């Protein structure tokens, strides 16, 4: 089966992708036979990491145009990964006004918990953190983002905290957060969102089959794929296993060029 489009890729235009490379990512996609690639750079305004910033959208769009001129056989899509857009409606509106973007992802990375702002990638470093409580808060914040009316189409890496699970803790189980996750999926289906299966550069499916099945049960119509690559050699990593999983959960490739799989 041919690989689906990779609709979540970062390049040198993202603050956390120092070895990202738009042109080489295009070459890699062509090499793999991936029909389309979307460069969804970070637009972060909740600042918890050194050097964190939103994409320079004008410079980025010029770079996309240069790649489109060089790689005529690859469909190159523009995009952005909005971090906590419901906390930053003005900044979100400004970046989306710069140009019509093909892919707009909504992501939660950070929560406000115990009097501070923390990225879920930092949960395990915080001594004494109520870990399940923080994960529950992560899901509560995700629901708030979905319900906020912010204009993003794709719900990205729904269970992001599991990428950074605490060593020695009981393993992550979707069932432990079933109420929270089903609530998010219901809201996402109601608002016409697309659920992303993020392959975490080939490391872990985010979310996995349990949640994709719940998505179907919630009335979710479409699924799309993203590697979340931050360097060219990770483009479309994990897609073979991800498409098998999504198919087993009851979705099939659509005949349109969206790159979505539909029920």
Using the minimum distance from each CB to Zn ion, give the nearer residue, 81 or 84: 81
Q: Which range of residues in 45-53, 102-110, 113-121, 237-245 is near Zn ion by CB under 5 A?
A: 102-110
Q: How far is the CB of 160 from Zn ion (least distance, A)?
A: 7
Q: How far is the CB of 51 from Zn ion (least distance, A)?
A: 16
What is the residue whose two structure tokens read 């890699």?
28
Q: How far is the CB of 206 from Zn ion (least distance, A)?
A: 9
CA distance 131 to 50: 24
Within 8 A by CB and 6+ apart from 155, the residues are: 105, 106, 142, 146, 184, 188, 193, 194, 195, 196
Using the minimum distance from each CB to Zn ion, give the nearer residue, 119 or 174: 119
Q: How far is the CB of 242 from Zn ion (least distance, A)?
A: 15
Environment class of 99 (CB within 10 Å of its CB; exposed 0-12, middle 13-18, buried 19+): middle
CA distance 209 to 78: 28
What is the residue whose two structure tokens read 């019509």?
100
Judged by CB under 5 A, the number of residues near Zn ion is: 3
What is the residue whose two structure tokens read 């070895």?
19
Using the minimum distance from each CB to Zn ion, give the nearer residue, 4 or 161: 161
Q: How far is the CB of 250 from Zn ion (least distance, A)?
A: 26
Binding mask 204-233 for Zn ion (x = CB under 5 A): ------------------------x-----
Q: Which of residues 150-209 bind Zn ion (CB under 5 A)?
A: none
Q: Which range of residues in 43-51, 75-83, 85-93, 207-215 is near Zn ion by CB under 5 A?
A: 75-83
Q: Which of residues 10-69 bind Zn ion (CB under 5 A)?
A: none
Residues belonging to the chain: 263
Does residue 107 touch Zn ion according to CB under 5 A? yes
Q: Which range of residues in 20-28, 106-114, 115-123, 181-189 is near Zn ion by CB under 5 A?
A: 106-114
CA distance 206 to 99: 29
Q: Which range of residues in 107-115, 144-152, 165-173, 211-219 is near Zn ion by CB under 5 A?
A: 107-115
User: Can you give the binding site for Zn ion, defined by CB under 5 A?
Assistant: 81, 107, 228
């Amino acid at each position: 089966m041919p690989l689906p489009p990779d609709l979540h890729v970062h390049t040198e235009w993202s603050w956390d992708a120092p070895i990202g490379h738009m042109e080489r990512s295009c070459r890699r996609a062509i090499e793999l036979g991936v029909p389309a690639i979307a460069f969804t750079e970070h637009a972060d305004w909740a600042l918890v990491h050194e050097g964190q910033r939103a994409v320079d959208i004008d410079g980025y769009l010029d770079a996309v145009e240069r790649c489109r001129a060089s790689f005529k056989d690859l469909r190159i899509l523009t995009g952005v990964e909005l971090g906590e857009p419901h906390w930053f409606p003005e900044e979100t509106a400004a970046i989306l006004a710069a140009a019509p973007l093909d892919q707009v992802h909504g992501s939660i990375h950070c929560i406000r918990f115990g009097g501070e702002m923390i990225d879920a990638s930092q949960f395990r470093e915080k001594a004494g953190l109520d870990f399940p409580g923080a994960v529950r808060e992560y899901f509560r914040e995700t629901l708030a983002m979905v319900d906020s009316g912010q204009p993003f189409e794709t719900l990205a890496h729904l269970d992001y905290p599991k990428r950074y699970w605490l060593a020695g803790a009981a393993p992550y189980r979707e069932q432990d957060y079933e109420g929270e996750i089903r609530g998010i999926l219901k809201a996402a289906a109601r608002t016409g969102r697309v659920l992303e299966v993020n392959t975490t550069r080939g490391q872990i499916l985010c979310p996995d089959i349990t949640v994709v099945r719940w998505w179907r049960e919630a009335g979710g119509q479409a699924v799309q794929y993203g590697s979340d690559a931050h360097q060219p050699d990770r483009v479309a990593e994990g897609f073979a296993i991800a498409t098998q999983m999504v198919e087993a959960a009851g979705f099939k490739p659509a005949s349109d060029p969206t790159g979505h799989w539909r029920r």
